[in-house]
């Protein structure tokens, strides 16, 4: 699995997890959902993604989106 797919998998997992937590515990978990969404939006325009940098340093193969 390359860096791009891992970033999308992490983002999707965190969004679904925070949505579930907002229903089970507190509506304030939606702020975490918004944070993930804003990070994805800025990464789409700038190409800067902290998780992609970390995964590349750990030796994962880069994809097309975050080079």
Per-residue pLDDT band for 65 (boundaries 50, 70, 90) equals confident
Number of domain units in the chain: 1
Distance of CA 5 to the CA centre of its chain: 10
The chain-wide mean pLDDT, for the chain, equals: 91
The reported pTM is 0.82
**Residue 63 covered by a domain:** no
**Residue 15 covered by a domain:** yes
**Residue 39 covered by a domain:** yes
Q: What is the pLDDT of residues 25-55, one digit of tens each?
A: 999 999 999 999 999 999 989 989 999 999 9
Q: Determine the structural domain holding residue 48 and report its residue range.
A: 3-57
**Residue 24 covered by a domain:** yes
**Residue 66 covered by a domain:** no
């Amino acid at each position: 699995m390359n860096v791009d797919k891992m970033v999308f998998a992490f983002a999707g997992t965190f969004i679904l997890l925070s949505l579930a937590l907002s229903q089970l515990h507190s509506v304030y978990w939606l702020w975490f959902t918004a944070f993930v969404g804003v990070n994805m939006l800025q990464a789409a325009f700038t190409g800067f993604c902290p998780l992609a940098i970390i995964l590349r340093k750990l030796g994962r193969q880069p994809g097309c989106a975050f080079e």
